[in-house]
Amino acid sequence: MIDRTQNPNGFTLFHGDAGCYNIMVPREGERPLYLIDRQPFDWSFTTWLGAYDLAYAIALGWEVEARREWERPILHHYHQTLIGRGVQGYSWEQLWDDYRLCVAMGVYVAVEYCRGEYHEETQWVWLPMLQKALTACDDLHCYELWNDDYSN
């Protein structure tokens, strides 16, 4: 993660908790769409990889089969939209690596629910999130980002 911060491409204002409980969608029509519950505390990130919000919503929120089917087309669309709106120097390969890095961060997000002690009352939130994050890490070979020996 520290190495990734050396290249500013891909960084933006981000939500940080862009799950299905923080999106308001109209009952009719497609717009407006609202992201709610943004809490920029003094101690919280406000700028990070834009791919993080996508990873949080897709890898941690969606069922595994839906993620497997739709994540690449959505990420390609996202990348094409960035390029179409004038973003330069942010390759598809960099977005893909950023997404995988943020998927791996999802393991931490799930485990954070249990920091200090096991919380059975929130198990319905963190256990599926952890399972989805670990499955996505395996599917996407996230270990390649920090392990030069891919055979292990």
Tell me the CA distances in angstroms from 13 to 46, 55, 87, 122, one per residue in order: 6, 15, 15, 28
CB 148 within 8 A of CB 128: no
For residue 133, pLDDT over 50 is answered with: yes
Is residue 23, in this structure, part of any structural domain at all?
Answer: yes
pLDDT (average), residues 37-58? 82
pLDDT digits (tens, 9 = 90+) for 68-115: 999 999 999 999 999 999 999 999 999 999 999 999 999 998 888 777
Which domain, by its residues, includes 69?
3-141
- Residue 77: what pLDDT? 98
Is residue 147, in this structure, part of any structural domain at all?
Answer: no
Is residue 149, in this structure, part of any structural domain at all?
Answer: no
Is residue 118, in this structure, part of any structural domain at all?
Answer: yes
CB 146 within 8 A of CB 100: no
| Mean confidence (pLDDT) of the chain | 87
Is residue 152, in this structure, part of any structural domain at all?
Answer: no
Lowest mean pLDDT among 55-64, 81-90, 142-151: 142-151
The count of structural domains within the chain is: 1
- Residue 152: what pLDDT? 46
Q: Cα(73)–Cα(70) distance, rounded to whole angstroms?
A: 5
